[in-house]
Protein backbone atom coordinates (compact mmCIF):
# COMPACT_ATOMS: atom_id res chain seq x y z
CA UNK A 1 0.00 0.00 0.00
CA UNK A 2 1.26 3.47 -0.92
CA UNK A 3 1.52 5.93 1.93
CA UNK A 4 -0.12 9.26 1.28
CA UNK A 5 2.00 12.39 1.26
CA UNK A 6 0.03 15.03 3.24
CA UNK A 7 2.60 17.78 2.58
CA UNK A 8 2.50 17.06 -1.15
CA UNK A 9 -1.28 16.98 -1.16
CA UNK A 10 -1.47 20.33 0.65
CA UNK A 11 1.01 21.84 -1.82
CA UNK A 12 -0.98 20.51 -4.78
CA UNK A 13 -4.25 21.83 -3.32
CA UNK A 14 -2.70 25.30 -2.90
CA UNK A 15 -1.36 25.17 -6.45
CA UNK A 16 -4.78 24.19 -7.81
CA UNK A 17 -6.36 27.15 -5.99
CA UNK A 18 -3.70 29.45 -7.49
CA UNK A 19 -4.36 28.17 -11.02
CA UNK A 20 -8.11 28.55 -10.48
CA UNK A 21 -7.55 32.14 -9.29
CA UNK A 22 -5.80 32.85 -12.61
CA UNK A 23 -8.76 31.37 -14.52
CA UNK A 24 -7.05 28.11 -15.46
CA UNK A 25 -9.69 25.80 -16.91
CA UNK A 26 -10.43 22.18 -16.02
CA UNK A 27 -7.66 21.91 -13.41
CA UNK A 28 -7.12 18.23 -12.62
CA UNK A 29 -4.78 16.42 -10.25
CA UNK A 30 -3.55 12.93 -11.14
CA UNK A 31 -2.10 11.07 -8.14
CA UNK A 32 0.83 8.99 -9.34
CA UNK A 33 2.18 7.89 -5.96
CA UNK A 34 3.25 4.28 -6.27
CA UNK A 35 2.70 4.26 -10.05
CA UNK A 36 5.56 6.46 -11.22
CA UNK A 37 9.10 6.88 -9.94
CA UNK A 38 9.65 10.35 -11.40
CA UNK A 39 6.91 12.29 -9.60
CA UNK A 40 3.97 11.96 -7.19
CA UNK A 41 1.44 14.23 -8.90
CA UNK A 42 0.50 15.70 -12.24
CA UNK A 43 -1.40 18.97 -12.13
CA UNK A 44 -3.06 19.57 -15.49
CA UNK A 45 -4.71 22.83 -16.56
CA UNK A 46 -5.92 24.49 -19.72
CA UNK A 47 -5.34 28.06 -20.87
CA UNK A 48 -7.57 29.88 -23.33
CA UNK A 49 -4.71 31.25 -25.48
CA UNK A 50 -0.93 31.04 -25.71
CA UNK A 51 -0.77 34.26 -23.67
CA UNK A 52 -2.96 32.69 -20.98
CA UNK A 53 -0.85 29.50 -20.96
CA UNK A 54 2.28 31.66 -20.49
CA UNK A 55 0.58 33.59 -17.68
CA UNK A 56 -0.41 30.37 -15.90
CA UNK A 57 3.15 29.03 -16.27
CA UNK A 58 4.53 32.28 -14.85
CA UNK A 59 2.12 31.96 -11.92
CA UNK A 60 3.34 28.41 -11.21
CA UNK A 61 6.93 29.68 -11.30
CA UNK A 62 6.04 32.48 -8.87
CA UNK A 63 4.21 29.99 -6.62
CA UNK A 64 7.29 27.76 -6.53
CA UNK A 65 9.56 30.72 -5.78
CA UNK A 66 7.33 31.84 -2.89
CA UNK A 67 7.40 28.29 -1.46
CA UNK A 68 11.18 28.00 -1.99
CA UNK A 69 10.65 25.08 -4.37
CA UNK A 70 13.28 24.73 -7.05
CA UNK A 71 11.85 24.59 -10.55
CA UNK A 72 13.93 21.80 -12.07
CA UNK A 73 12.94 22.51 -15.61
CA UNK A 74 10.52 24.29 -17.89
CA UNK A 75 9.64 23.09 -21.40
CA UNK A 76 7.34 24.57 -24.02
CA UNK A 77 8.19 28.24 -23.85
CA UNK A 78 7.83 30.48 -25.84
CA UNK A 79 5.38 28.51 -28.05
CA UNK A 80 2.98 27.88 -25.15
CA UNK A 81 0.89 25.10 -26.69
CA UNK A 82 1.97 22.82 -23.82
CA UNK A 83 4.16 24.08 -21.01
CA UNK A 84 5.64 21.61 -18.53
CA UNK A 85 7.06 22.78 -15.21
CA UNK A 86 8.98 20.24 -13.13
CA UNK A 87 8.69 20.95 -9.40
CA UNK A 88 10.06 17.54 -8.43
CA UNK A 89 7.20 15.81 -6.66
CA UNK A 90 4.75 17.73 -8.85
CA UNK A 91 4.78 18.05 -12.63
CA UNK A 92 2.55 20.85 -13.91
CA UNK A 93 1.17 20.56 -17.45
CA UNK A 94 -0.51 23.64 -18.92
CA UNK A 95 -2.13 23.15 -22.31
CA UNK A 96 -4.10 24.87 -24.96
CA UNK A 97 -7.45 23.04 -25.29
CA UNK A 98 -6.65 21.35 -28.60
CA UNK A 99 -3.27 20.14 -27.38
CA UNK A 100 -4.74 18.80 -24.14
CA UNK A 101 -7.41 16.89 -26.03
CA UNK A 102 -4.83 15.41 -28.39
CA UNK A 103 -2.46 14.11 -25.68
CA UNK A 104 -5.20 13.30 -23.12
CA UNK A 105 -2.85 12.74 -20.18
CA UNK A 106 -5.72 12.16 -17.77
CA UNK A 107 -6.82 9.08 -19.69
CA UNK A 108 -3.28 7.88 -20.28
CA UNK A 109 -2.43 8.01 -16.56
CA UNK A 110 -5.78 7.00 -15.08
CA UNK A 111 -5.67 3.81 -12.95
CA UNK A 112 -8.10 2.11 -15.34
CA UNK A 113 -5.87 2.81 -18.35
CA UNK A 114 -2.84 1.67 -16.38
CA UNK A 115 -4.51 -1.63 -15.53
CA UNK A 116 -5.50 -2.16 -19.17
CA UNK A 117 -1.86 -1.79 -20.25
CA UNK A 118 -0.72 -4.28 -17.62
CA UNK A 119 -3.43 -6.86 -18.36
Model confidence over 26-67: pLDDT tens digits?
Answer: 999 988 877 777 888 999 999 999 999 999 999 999 999 999
pLDDT, averaged across the chain? 86
Q: What is the mean pLDDT of residues 84-113?
A: 88
First to last CA, the chain: 20
Give the model's pLDDT for residue 35. Answer: 75
Q: Domains (ranges, CATH) in the chain?
A: 6-118 (3.30.460.10)
Question: How does residue 76 score in pLDDT terms, banded at 50, 70 and 90?
Answer: very high
pTM of the model: 0.85
Q: Is residue 25 over pLDDT 50?
A: yes
What does each C-alpha distance from 72 to 2, 35, 75, 84, 102 come to in angstroms?
Answer: 25, 21, 10, 11, 26
Q: What is the mean pLDDT of residues 3-8?
A: 63
Q: Is residue 21 over pLDDT 80?
A: yes
Cβ atoms of residues 44 and 101 within 8 Å = no
Q: Is residue 117 over pLDDT 60?
A: no
Amino acid sequence: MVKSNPEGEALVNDLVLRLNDKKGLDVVVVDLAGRATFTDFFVIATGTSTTHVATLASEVDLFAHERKIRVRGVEGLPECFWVLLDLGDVLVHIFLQETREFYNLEKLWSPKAQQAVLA
